[in-house]
Amino acid sequence: LRLDEAQEAECQALRLQLQQEMELLNAYQSKIKMQTEAQHERELQKLEQRVSLRRAHLEQKIEEELAALQKERSERIKYLLERQEREIETFDMESLRMGFGNLVTLDFPKEDYR
């Protein structure tokens, strides 16, 4: 089967049109791909920034809570030591009042276990 000149010319024109449309399509796809990648990169940077800010906020909050706990712990220890001192003084005074002050003290090491 042989095409006449008009059909050959039409076929050639259609091939040329198809090639041009393929080039346009490829260019359009490349443009869309680049725009999508750029958008993805911007979104990724925003997310990384948000994560960084959130992490910094949480680290600061943890430091503040640790400082508060340390302060509370120190105050509690101070309170307990003061209470122990008062109880020892009360015990010593009660012992003296009951006449235990004249007892011979045993030779125990006088270490402070506080």
pLDDT in tens, 29-63: 999 999 999 999 999 999 999 999 999 999 999 99
Give the CA angle between residues 22, 28, 30 to the nearest 5°.
Answer: 105
112 lies in a domain?
A: no
109 lies in a domain?
A: no
On whether the pTM is more than 0.75, the answer is: no
Handedness of CA 102, 105, 111, 114 (dihedral sign): negative
3 Cβ contact partners less than 8 Å away, ≥ 6 residues apart: 11
Going from the C-alpha of 68 to that of each of 27, 46, 56, 63, 79, the distances in angstroms are 61, 33, 18, 9, 16
Question: What is the CB neighbour count within 10 angstroms for residue 51?
Answer: 10
Q: Which of 17-26, 36-45, 53-62, 87-96 has the lowest mean pLDDT?
A: 87-96
Q: How many independent structural domains does the chain possess?
A: 1
107 lies in a domain?
A: no
Residues 81 and 114 sit within 8 Å (Cβ to Cβ): yes
30 lies in a domain?
A: yes
Residue span of the structural domain in which 31 resides: 7-98
33 lies in a domain?
A: yes
83 lies in a domain?
A: yes
56 lies in a domain?
A: yes
The encoded tokens of residue 65 equal 């809570």
